[in-house]
Structure 1
Amino acid sequence: MTQLVIFGGTGYAGGNIAREALRRQHTVTSYSRHAPTNPVDGVDYRIGSVTDPDTVRQAAADADQLVIALRAIDIDGGLASHVRGLEQAAIQHHARLSFVGGAGSSLVAPDGPRLVDTPDFHDDWKPEALAHAQVLDALQQAPTELDWFYVSPAALFGAVAPGETTGSYRIGGDQLVTKDDGSSEISGTDFALAYVDEIERQAHLRQRFTVGH
């Protein structure tokens, strides 16, 4: 049984990860700025922010797996500015650090470009996509003793498009996972399946990987 501590466990991605982890008999603690509207039975909910060093240290001390499932631009100073503090706490307490990332930093072809740099990428989505890309950049420069992973979902992912639970997924390395028709999507439940599989299998050490149907 693994102890997961999730920053953002009341959100879409974090909530799905929490439910999948509980289904597999892991323990889950969630930190968020507000109490959940629809709490999940079995989750230990706490109020706290990733911007507070004391909260981060306590979370890491309680965790085998420290999961960050937050919107990158909703955090004071941007999420990337808090990566170093998270890394230090994770190293100190021997926790594996992981992030729910964005699709924007995924490559659309083996040699690029990134999805966020393509002409059709919507301008309104760029601030969040670039903020998540900065988190990935920071992780790729992390101290070698940090155990981390970062998961980029398919292009269509989120509460507005919950998708279908299929019980399966595909992994694409750094490249966006697409279907034969060019579409790219993943449900929250199947994204969580992939995420908790990685927690259990540890197949992507100090790596980003992409997920899609």
Structure 2
Amino acid sequence: MKIAVVAANGKAGQLIVKEALDRGHQVTAIVRSENKTAATSVLQKDIHELTKEDLAGFDVVVSAFGAWTPETLPQHTSTLQVLTKALAGSSTRLFVVGGAGSLYLDEGRSLRLMEAPDFPAAYLPIAEAMAKGLDFLRTVTDLNWVYVSPAADFQDAGEKTGHYILAGEVFTLNSKGESVISYVDFALALVDEIEANRFNQERISVLQA
């Protein structure tokens, strides 16, 4: 497949590029600055300036965008607005690297992880910003999108186990009572779902088995 990875220079982006390349896909890195990946080709452009023409011809676009400072947190929504507008009505699928804070704690979906009393206050702003991005994405009906939430403990230095649990909207623990996944196993799971093409306009989640 022809896959574009937006924000390919980030930790998750670089590993998604590598995983897709290792499987023989053609991968274009879309980056704002000098490319740090081994992608097949490169488009150097700010995500907010991407157009329909820039994204034409790809089977899948992956947004690995992340923002962490108070002034940039709203970009978790604005970047998705740009991407969904550019892809609207096309056959290109959009995969979004999401967050865990918006996962629900009950099947009735009455309480989210970030609303729990023991949720770390330091992570609340980013969790709320990413949740707003997901809320916006749920309003998009003219595009095949998949929002992929990692486990609560998303480890950038974790090892590749090759094993993971695919879950849905509800916060899930493994047999050890943990919610953890490495960036590299997350990349594995995401590319698996790109290839499987099982979900449309849904949020899924992944954690280490």
| TM-score (structure 2 length as normaliser) | 0.89
% identity of equivalent residues: 35
Query: 2:174 corresponds to which residue?
Result: 179
The answer to whether structure 1 residue 34 and structure 2 residue 33 are counterparts is yes
Query: 2:129 corresponds to which residue?
Result: 131
Query: 2:145 corresponds to which residue?
Result: 148
Task: Letter of the 1:110 partner, please give it.
Answer: E
The answer to whether structure 1 residue 79 and structure 2 residue 76 are counterparts is yes
Contact 2:89 2:143 in 1 (8 A): no
The total of aligned residue pairs comes to 205
Query: 2:54 corresponds to which residue?
Result: 59
Which has the larger displacement, 24-33 or 56-65?
A: 56-65
Query: 1:121 corresponds to which residue?
Result: 119
The 3 A distance-change label for structure 1 pair 125 and 44 is same
CA distance in 2, matches of 1:200, 1:23: 13
Contact 2:74 2:129 in 1 (8 A): no
Contact 2:93 2:143 in 1 (8 A): yes
> Deviations 1:120-175 (Å, cap 9, x if unpaired)?
111111111111111111111112x311100000011142xx22211111011112
- 3-state SS of the aligned residue for 2:154? coil
The answer to whether structure 1 residue 88 and structure 2 residue 85 are counterparts is yes
Structure 1 alignment gaps of length 5 or more: none
CA distance in 1, matches of 2:205, 2:55: 25
CA distance in 2, matches of 1:111, 1:93: 33
Offset of residue 182 of structure 1 = 2.5
Query: 2:21 corresponds to which residue?
Result: 22
CA distance in 2, matches of 1:14, 1:96: 17
The 3 A distance-change label for structure 1 pair 30 and 73 is same
- 3-state SS of the aligned residue for 2:180? coil
Contact 2:73 2:126 in 1 (8 A): no
Contact 1:105 1:129 in 2 (8 A): yes
CA distance in 2, matches of 1:72, 1:178: 26
- 3-state SS of the aligned residue for 2:88? helix
Contact 1:72 1:80 in 2 (8 A): no
Offset of residue 77 of structure 1 = 4.2
Contact 1:71 1:128 in 2 (8 A): no
